[in-house]
Chain A
Amino acid sequence: MNRYRRSARVLFGTLAVYALLVASNRGEFWPFSIYPMFSQGGLAWTRAVVREVPDERFRWQPTTMDQLPGTSYALADRGVDHIDLGSFVAQTQVWDAPRIEALRRMVGDAELQRRNLLVLRVSGWITERDSVVVSFSPVALITRDTSRVNDSAPRL
C-alpha cells in the first residue's frame, strides 16, 4: 500500500476514534480532548485553601483574603495537589464520614499529628458592578483527634 495512503488511514482512523471518544465522554478521554478549559468566560469558580490554626477560636463565617484565620499553609510542600483538593471540596455536597476520612487521607496523617488544619472553600465571581469578589468560607477543621465540619457554608 502506498505510504501516504497507509498514513492517511491511520491518521484519520485515529481522528475517528478521537471524535467518537470525546463525543461520548463529555469532551475528555485522555489524551483525546476538545480542551474545554476556560471555554466558559465569566463563570464563577470554586477552589480550596488550607490554613494552619492554633485552636478552634475562629469564626465559621465567610471572610476575605485579608482576614483569613491562622497562618499560611503551602500544599505543595506537603505533596498535596491543590487542584485535587479544590475539586474535592467543590464537589462535596455533604461532609459525611467517608468524605471526611478521604479529606484526612489527602492531607496526610503525619501532618495532622503536628497541626490543626482549617480547610476553606474559596469562591470567585463577577459582580454586577464589574468587580471580582473572592470569598473564603471555612468548611472543615481537621486535627489529630477530631474533625469538625461546617455543612452550612454558603456555596455557589
Chain B
Amino acid sequence: MKLLRNLFDFEREDSPGEVIFFKLFELFVVASAVVLAWEWGLYTLRLSGIVSPQGIARYMEIEFMFDSMFPVLTAALITACAGATYFRFNRYGHLAAFFLLHLQFAARHSLGKIPHGANMVGMTLLGLALAMIIFRDDRLRRRFTLGYTYFFVGLGYVLAGCSKLVGTGLDWVDGRHLWLWVYEKSVDNLAKLGTFELNPLQEIVLGSYATATLFLTIGLLTELCAVLVWWKRTRSAALLALIAMHAGIYFVMNIAFTLSVYQLLLLAFPWAVWLDALAKRFEWMGAVEQLSVRFA
C-alpha cells in the first residue's frame, strides 16, 4: 500500500500548474505517438514483407500492411483516435491508438532489429488509455497516469540492468565490451552519415580499460537503481541520474533515445511548480489553465 501511495498519491489536490502540466505531458505523449505512427507508416510503404515477425505478427498475418496503403490509413486512424481523446470527445481513442500503433510497429520493425526508443511513450500511452477507462474524475486520471508511468519507467530500466546481469553476469562491466560497442556504433554512423570521427570522450574510453570499465559500472548501477523512481522522495534524483546516463550513452556510443529523454525531462523536473509561479506573475496563464481544465 505504501508503494501505491508513493506512485499515485490520490489524496493530494492538484494545483493549477499540475493541471496545465499534465495536459502538456499528454500532448507530448499523443504527439509522439502520432509522429511515430506516420514515420513507421511511411517507412513500411518501402518494405516488401516480414523477415522476423514481431508482436501481433507472430499470431496473425499482417501481410496486408505491405504493398498497400494500409500503413497510411493506420497512421491517419491513430491521429484521429488519439486526437479525439486528447480533446475528450471520447474515452477509448487512446486505447485504439495504442493497439493500432502496436500494429504499425509490428509492420515497420519486421526486419529483425528491434529498437527501444519508443517503448516509454508506448507504455505511457497505455497508461493514459487505461486511466480514461477506469476513472471518470480528471484528477484521478492524472494521478493514475503519472503513477503508472513512474512504475513502468522504473521497471523498464531495472529489467535492462537485470538482462545484462543474466546475459553476461558481473563481467558485463568489462571495459573491452564498451570498446566493441563504440566501434559498432561508429560503423553505424559511417553507414548513416557516410563518415565518422571519434570524439574526445570516445578516444579516452578506447585508450583506457579502467575508464571504460568505470563507465559501464556506473551505467549498470544507474539502471538497477531506477527502482527508486517508484518512491516520491528519491524520484527526482533517480530520474536525473537516468538522464545523465542517457547523456553518457549519447556521447560514448552515439545512441540518442530522444523521446525517452524528453519524457524523463518532463518527469524529473518540477514543471507544475514553475507553471504555478508563472500563473502568479502573468494573467494570461489563467486562460491556459481554463483551456487545460476544459479538456482535462
Binding site for B on A (CB under 8 A): 3-4, 6-8, 10-11, 14-15, 25, 27-45, 47-50, 65, 72-77, 81-88, 90-91, 101-102, 105-106, 108, 122, 124-126, 130, 132, 134
Interface of chain B, main secondary structure:
helix
Interface hit among B12-20, B72-80, B144-152, B233-241? B144-152
Enumerate chain B interface residues (CB-CB to A < 8 A). Answer: 1, 4-5, 7-8, 10, 43, 46-49, 51-52, 54-55, 58, 102, 105-106, 109, 111-116, 118-123, 126, 130, 134-135, 140, 144, 147-148, 151-152, 155-157, 159-160, 162-164, 166-168, 171-172, 174, 176-177, 179-181, 183-184, 187-188, 190-195
Bound CA span A27–B159, Å: 10
Given A41-B172, A106-B47, A132-B176: 6 more A-B contacts, CB < 8 Å: A4-B8, A28-B114, A29-B55, A30-B114, A47-B187, A74-B195
**Cross-chain contact A42 with B184 (CB below 8 angstroms):** no
Contact A125 B181 (CB under 8 A): no
Chain A neighbourhood of B135, CB < 8 A: 3, 6
A6-B168 in contact given A28-B114, A31-B119 (Cβ < 8 Å): no
The smallest C-beta distance from A120 to any residue of chain B, in angstroms, reads: 9
Known: A11-B151, A82-B191, A87-B112. A33 touches B119 (CB 8 A): yes
Q: How far, in Å, is A121 (CB) from chain B's closest CB?
A: 11
Separation of A11 and B4 alpha carbons in the complex (Å)? 10
Question: Is there an interface contact between A82 and B192, defined as CB atoms closer than 8 Å?
Answer: yes
Contact of B134 among A6, A41, A45, A83 (CB under 8 A): A6
Number of cross-chain contacts by CB at 8 Å: 181
Quick one: given A42-B174, A122-B187, are A86 and B113 in contact (CB under 8 Å)? yes
Residues of B within 8 A of A73 (CB): 194
Q: How far, in angstroms, from A7 to B183 measured CA to CA in the complex? A: 45
A134 vs B179: C-alpha distance when bound (angstroms) = 12
CB <8 Å contact, A30 and B194? no
Per a CB cutoff under 8 Å, which of A25, A81, A126, A134 touches B187?
A134
- CB of A11 within 8 A of CB of B148, answer yes
**In the assembled complex, which residues on chain B have CB atoms less than 8 Å from the CB atom of A102?**
48-49
With a cutoff of 8 Å between Cβ atoms, the chain B residues found around residue A130 in the complex are 176
Please pick, from A8, A14, A31, A72, the residue contacting B130 in the complex, using a CB distance under 8 A: A14
Residue of B nearest to A17 (CB): B126
Rounded to whole angstroms, the CA-CA distance of A59 and B7 in the bound complex is: 61
Question: Could you pull out 22 A-B pairs where Cβ atoms are within 8 angstroms?
Answer: A3-B135, A3-B140, A7-B147, A10-B144, A11-B7, A14-B126, A30-B114, A30-B122, A31-B118, A31-B126, A33-B159, A35-B116, A35-B156, A39-B164, A39-B166, A41-B171, A42-B180, A49-B190, A73-B194, A75-B192, A76-B193, A108-B46
